Structure 1
Amino acid sequence: MELISDSHVPKYAQIADIFRQRIARGIWAQGLRLPANENLAAEFGVSRVTIRQAVDLLVRDGIIEARQGRGTFITGILKQDRWLKVETTLSDLAEVYRDTSPEIINISESRTDAPLLPEDGKAATNYVFMRRVHSRDKRPYCVISIYLDEKVFRKSPRRFRKETVIPILKDMREPTISSARQTLTIGTADLEVAKLLQVPLNSPVAEVRRVFTTADRTVIYLGEVTYRGDFIRIDMDLRP
């Protein structure tokens, strides 16, 4: 199996991820003895030292166990923990944030312009920028950059700083959200995102861009969210 030679991810980390996928998909079942390091080294075209480094990562995770004189065995089961559903309606999205009650770490806050596209709508006079990390059970699952109309922010600054923004906006009587759109693209984690989400560099991520406007097309909210790829799922009804 060929590895990505020009990737910033070390070869041993790439191999460890392949091992995890084999275990998660049941290709390597619990209790299985792994092939000898020499055989794995030949499969991936690397040294035995690189294979031992990959194995050590999984040993630390409690997924496999090296037994003296017997070999290395699968002792744990990896499940696909895709618990976070990316909703496709504003009401459902607000409920997701209410139900998950994420732990919020605010990284920065400032006043700035929002990076709007021509099709997004009209810019508000000023925006409050907040960059934060959402976690669940101490595990970070998304990094979000929020641009919130400063007039809206001033209505409830304490809540906006401490709580998820979308449920607050959804419940406000003024201003009323007239249009809410989001786009999703698949990307890879850069150095900063990888560090914040605690994933290897270039890991798969889902990038979601959300824009909320009022009746006069003023953008009151722009959210740029990067989700860990191994946490999210999208369910959609396909019209016949």
Structure 2
Amino acid sequence: MAKYEEIAADLRSRIDRGEWSAGDKLPTTDELITEYETSKETVRAAVDVLARDGLVRVVKRLGTVVQDRSLGRRRIARNSHVMRDPARGYVFPAASRPDEPWQVHGQPKRAFVAIPEGVAAHLGVEAGTEVMRRRRVTSPAGEPPFQIADAWIHPDALTEAPRAGEISTGPGGYLDRIEEANHGPLSWDEVTRTRMPTREEARLLEIPTETPVLETTTIGKSARTGQPVEASVRVIPGDRVELVSKLERDDSARWPVQAVTPGV
């Protein structure tokens, strides 16, 4: 066993014994270097092992924090239903449960930001173009950051529906404002993939850059033009979520199985 693996195993054992509880900070890197008589690189490698296993999270300017393992993975039921809430507007399949309170970490932000390549392709604009982005970092109440939600609004749609980019968008949110600008009713496509987080995403979600994330993008299309007018990107730590789908039998999979007569 390599030295960093020995240290990781010992730290894991100490966490399991209750030496540190959920929310506690592990000793600093310098303290662990002294305690285990090793190098900074070895200590960091050991902590990375614990982070990948979901035992700790490394928070910038705070340190290494023990995770609450009772949180487990959240299930997202994947279906094709977009619902409507009288107070919030459109509701897409998500990891929240009915009537569960959620909190916003920091302040919601809106700004013109250089659009990354993947989202630019969905919206049909050139990568690097300054596009309005509305961002919120949220989680169930009392939990660490769970989700980054970025809403990107096509420049043409923003020109037609300027309130979609304001701080207060009014009832129904920015989607209602876009639909009111002669684009309704919107229709949506959804794309889901896994990838590694950017450094900024890892910082906001308080996860190591080595932890994969689940990215789900819904692309809203105008009923008038048939072209994308907005893209909503949700980024969630991969170790905190799982997708669940109900499988339906096709007519070709009817039961009981009908016998096939040879030669007929």
TM range (shorter): 0.5 to 0.7
CA 1:140–1:153: 2 relative to 1, 3 Å: farther
* Aligned partner of 1:90 among 60, 76, 82: 82
2:192 is the alignment partner of 1:196: no
Q: CA deviation at 1:211?
A: 0.5
Equivalent residue letter for 2:135? R
* Aligned partner of 1:110 among 109, 112, 117: 112
- 1:10-29 matches, cutoff 5 A: 15=8, 19=12
Equivalent residue letter for 1:154? R
In the aligned structure 2, how far is the partner of 1:15 from the partner of 1:169? Answer: 52
Q: CA deviation at 1:147?
A: 1.7
CA contact (8 A) 1:206 1:226 kept: yes
In the aligned structure 1, how far is the partner of 2:211 from the partner of 2:83? Answer: 30
Which of the two has higher C-alpha Rg? 2
Which residue of 2 is the match for residue 185 of structure 1? 193
Unaligned segments of structure 1, at least 5 residues: 4-10, 24-29, 34-46, 64-75
Deviation readout 1:30-50 (Å, 9 max, x if unpaired) = 7699xxxxxxxxxxxxx7855
Which residue of 2 is the match for residue 145 of structure 1? 150
Which residue of 2 is the match for residue 176 of structure 1? 184
In the aligned structure 2, how far is the partner of 1:204 from the partner of 1:87? Answer: 23
2:138 is the alignment partner of 1:135: yes
CA contact (8 A) 1:190 1:202 kept: no
CA 1:87–1:15: 2 relative to 1, 3 Å: farther
* Aligned partner of 1:80 among 65, 72, 75: 72
In the aligned structure 1, how far is the partner of 2:108 from the partner of 2:69? Answer: 34
Q: How many residues align?
A: 194
CA RMSD of aligned residues (A): 5.1
In the aligned structure 2, how far is the partner of 1:230 from the partner of 1:61? Answer: 16
Equivalent residue letter for 1:103? V
In the aligned structure 1, how far is the partner of 2:137 from the partner of 2:212? Answer: 18
Which residue of 1 is the match for residue 241 of structure 2? 232
Equivalent residue letter for 2:195? G
Q: TM-score w.r.t. structure 1 length?
A: 0.56
Unaligned segments of structure 2, at least 5 residues: 20-35, 57-63, 85-89, 250-264
Q: CA deviation at 1:205?
A: 0.5
Equivalent residue letter for 1:194? A
CA 1:62–1:210: 2 relative to 1, 3 Å: closer
User: Sequence identity of aligned pairs in percent?
Assistant: 15
Which residue of 1 is the match for residue 230 of structure 2? 221
2:178 is the alignment partner of 1:159: no
Q: CA deviation at 1:212?
A: 0.6
